[in-house]
Amino acid sequence: MKINKVSNSRLSEVNFDNLPFGKVFSDHMLWMDYKNGKWGEPAIVPYGNISVSPALHTLHYGQAIFEGQKAYRMADGRVGVFRPLDNCKRLNISAERMCIPQIPEDVFMKGLEALIRLDKDWVPKDESISLYIRPFMYGSSEFIAARPSEEYVFSIITSPSGPYYAGDVKVYIEESYVRSAAGGTGYAKAAGNYGGSFYPTRKIQEKGYTQIIWTDHRDHTLIEESGTMNIAFVIDGVLRTPPLSDRILAGITRDSVLTIARDWGMEVKEAPVTVDEVIDAIKSNRLTEAFGMGTAAVISPISVIGFRGTDYKIPPQGSDGFAPKVKAELSGIRSGRIADRHNWMMVI
Ligand code: COI
């Protein structure tokens, strides 16, 4: 692979004690072009601006997808990437839905490994934060006919990042806007899924909530996701989460949490969760936890669920709750302090 290294690293300019999420970018990026029906050679080049035509296909039609993954500093100083092949597989699922060419798994994995190896000093030493990895693909043809682009870019950029949310999140059950519908792109990490969520999210943030709980497109009776995360509840001691469908993103953190819960012998139910049963379970003190699961935010405990003008408080569980325990287990696996029973870590 071609590697063009920076002559002067920007690493010494970074304040690792006060890192925002996704605003600081490391020295290098991976870049690969798709032209004339095939991928070219991947290259690692200095991170920097790109120049594009105003007719760049993606600017008009949003034929763009991305992934979110993380590299962690391990207790012994090495660097580990969490479940990278699963991100590659999901990128290809998104690519298929958005008519973008498939990325060969070995190209993704070798490119990712070379990039992280080169910029490994950008992985924060503080184990509670990480290097966020953002692979993305977009249509790069220069035409504005509404049909798939003919040229594409695959790139990976990385960003040493602090926490996504400052603390517990306050969510509101949305009954007007939808994030996805049956037959749509909800299961893909398509750029437009996120862009379309900004307006309804801003509206509920103006009312003091952090994020939306998305409900189903048809009659808003089923809980689907929370903000950019999958959602789970502990009701009567059972871990409950909506089943995957074409409306829900197959979260890798979601899968990891369910796997750990099952390893621990906890009852896990992947079945529809209705708004009514969540509200009833809160009222009758049977709902003990609600939390979001995602790469960026990891595990985000929900402290308040707003619904039709009423705020329902979920009492904090302290460190004995399932969410804090599973979060600690995941960070233990990522740091190498807890055995990686499922071979989730790619150690660099
Ligand atoms: C992630 O958790 O990686 C996401 O995709 C959220 C992102 C939109 C910041």
Tell the residue nearest (CA) to atom 3 of ligand 1: 68
Give ranges for CATH 3.20.10.10 in the chain. Answer: 169-335
- Centre of ligand 1 to C-alpha 194, Å, is 9
Nearest-atom number in ligand 1 for the CA of 189 is 5
pLDDT at 319: 83
Distance in angstroms (rounded) separating the CA atoms of residues 138 and 140? 6
Tokens 């991305």 correspond to what residue? 66
Contact 177, 67 (CB under 8 A): no
Q: Cβ neighbours of residue 310 under 8 Å, at least 6 residues apart?
A: none
Q: What is the reported pTM?
A: 0.96
pLDDT at 96: 98
Q: Evaluate whether the domain defined by 169-335 bears CATH number 3.40.50.10800.
A: no
Give ranges for CATH 3.30.470.10 in the chain. Answer: 2-162
Q: Cβ neighbours of residue 198 under 8 Å, at least 6 residues apart?
A: none
| Most ligand 1 atoms within 8 A of CB, residue of 86, 90, 257, 295 to mutate | 295
Q: What is the mean pLDDT of each run of 10 residues along the chain (348 residues)?
A: 96 94 97 98 98 98 98 96 98 98 98 98 92 98 98 98 83 97 97 97 96 96 96 98 98 98 98 98 96 92 96 88 96 96 96
When the candidates are 3.30.450.20, 3.30.360.10, 3.40.50.2300, 3.30.470.10, the CATH number that belongs to 2-162 is: 3.30.470.10
Please, what is the end-to-end C-alpha distance for the chain in angstroms? 17
| Residues at CB less than 6 angstroms from ligand 1 | 68, 194, 228, 294-296
Distance in angstroms (rounded) separating the CA atoms of residues 262 and 126? 29
- Centre of ligand 1 to C-alpha 199, Å, is 17
Nearest-atom number in ligand 1 for the CA of 66 is 5
Tell the residue nearest (CA) to atom 8 of ligand 1: 228
Tell the residue nearest (CA) to atom 9 of ligand 1: 296
Whole-Å CA distances, 280 to 197, 218, 236, 310: 27, 22, 12, 13
Nearest-atom number in ligand 1 for the CA of 296 is 2
- Centre of ligand 1 to C-alpha 286, Å, is 30
Nearest-atom number in ligand 1 for the CA of 229 is 2
Positive/negative CA dihedral, 202, 207, 210, 211: negative
Distance in angstroms (rounded) separating the CA atoms of residues 44 and 166? 33
| Reduced 3-state DSSP string for 147-212 | CCCCCEEEEEEEEEECCCCCCCEEEEECCCCCCCCCCCCCCCCEHHHHHCCHHHHHHHHCCCCCEE
pLDDT at 294: 94
Contact 223, 275 (CB under 8 A): yes
